[in-house]
A = this chain, B = another copy of it.
Amino acid sequence: MPLESAPFSADEYTRRIVKTRQAMESAGVEVLFVTDPSNQAWLTGYDGWSFYVHQGVILTMEGDPHWWGRYMDSLGALRTCWMEAATIHGYADNYVQSTVRHPMQDLARIVRDLGFEKARIGVEMENYYYSAKAHAVLTAELPDARIVDVTALVNWQRLVKSDEEIAFIRKAAKISDKIVRTAIDRAEPGLRKNELVAEIFHAGISGVGDIWGDYPAIVPLTPSGLDATAAHLTWNGDPMRKGEATFFELSGCYRRYHAPLCRTVYLGTPPAEMREAEKAQIEGIEAGLDAARAGNRTCDIANAFVNVLKTYGIQREGRCGYAIGLSYPPDWGERTASIRAEDETLLEPGMTFHFMPALWMKSWGLETTEPILITESGPAEPFCTVERRLFVKD
């Protein structure tokens, strides 16, 4: 039974477990070991900044999931997971970053104790927190097991959100609106970028009324000028300058749920080509939102956007978005469906994406994006309310 403090209802966790077991059955695995912190949290409620050591959740076809990790973090698991204490396992501290023993030896012992030493065990081979070494040790320790790759098996179960989850994303979106507006309002020539980011962090973590701000899975990205032609550069202490565009790639976060939102500010008078690109981008976003309907596919959104750009003579390659929801660093994407030409995921009501039709050009970057919800009928619903345009401050 969920703890009082667990983010979701008992029914919600039951729904997740049932859905995951169906996927396990399809994949032909009797045991699932997940290391992705967002999958751990989704299944058990576990929440802590402890993913820098080996930990994970074991799910079999019967009974509650088991949480396994460092002993000191098992105390956090007792305080955040909905399961009984008997399913929480902690390993000794001398396994941590040791050159003579590995935590996966302890995990293998638990798998054996549970009677699964000859089982088909699914692991997440493409995950930040399942290293090549972890896999090598686990495989060697369980020679009679059949260890198979089920990367993203749980992530795909997360794609369609429950009403409880959508309510969390709506709260995150309120914070996103607040922090993007804060960034636009404060931006001015001479303001040091780190000062601006300090304001953004303050606004985001303070939250909105009762909606307290959690940490986003990616820090605020706020590059200006030529730095904005590259993606993912973080800030420094340089001042903002007249004649430069700065984009804000930010997300509010409520209890680990995200609603990423981007806007761009130009200090001064933007070049004509940027104004033209703005027009193309906004028209393209409208076309994309209109294509983002239940029954269509993710590629339809990308194609609708790119086709509008083409009428403006703009060539645009690369991904235009990804599924969003519950996340931990280093990425707020769910790593399942992408909005891109080659992705044919069927859109269903309750799916949530960051529609991210950013333009990174030779001398500037223009990011205007929307976190969106696929609805029962009609175009996608944007979660946020910040006006969709290039913000110009003279």
Mark A residues whose CB is within 8 Å of B. 47-52, 71-73, 75-76, 78-80, 93-94, 96-97, 123, 125-136, 149, 151, 192-195, 197-199, 201-207, 210, 212-215, 218-219, 221, 226-227, 229-237, 317-319, 322, 329-331, 333, 335, 338, 340, 342, 360
Checking B94, B123, B127, B231 against A76 with a beta-carbon cut-off of 8 angstroms, the contacting residue is B231
Q: Are B230 and A73 in contact (CB under 8 A)?
A: yes
A318–B212 Cα distance when bound, in Å, is 34
A229–B236 Cα distance when bound, in Å, is 36
Checking B131, B231, B322, B340 against A126 with a beta-carbon cut-off of 8 angstroms, the contacting residue is B131
Q: Are B195 and A206 in contact (CB under 8 A)?
A: yes
Q: Are B226 and A198 in contact (CB under 8 A)?
A: no
Return A243 CB to nearest CB of chain B, in Å: 18
Q: Which residues of B contact A94 (CB under 8 A)?
A: 340, 342
Return A134 CB to nearest CB of chain B, in Å: 7
Q: Are B132 and A233 in contact (CB under 8 A)?
A: no
Checking B72, B128, B206, B322 against A231 with a beta-carbon cut-off of 8 angstroms, the contacting residue is B72
A203–B219 Cα distance when bound, in Å, is 16
Q: Which residues of B contact A72 (CB under 8 A)?
A: 230-232, 318, 360
Q: Are A131 and B125 in contact (CB under 8 A)?
A: yes
Q: Are A233 and B319 in contact (CB under 8 A)?
A: no
Checking B80, B131, B204, B342 against A130 with a beta-carbon cut-off of 8 angstroms, the contacting residue is B131
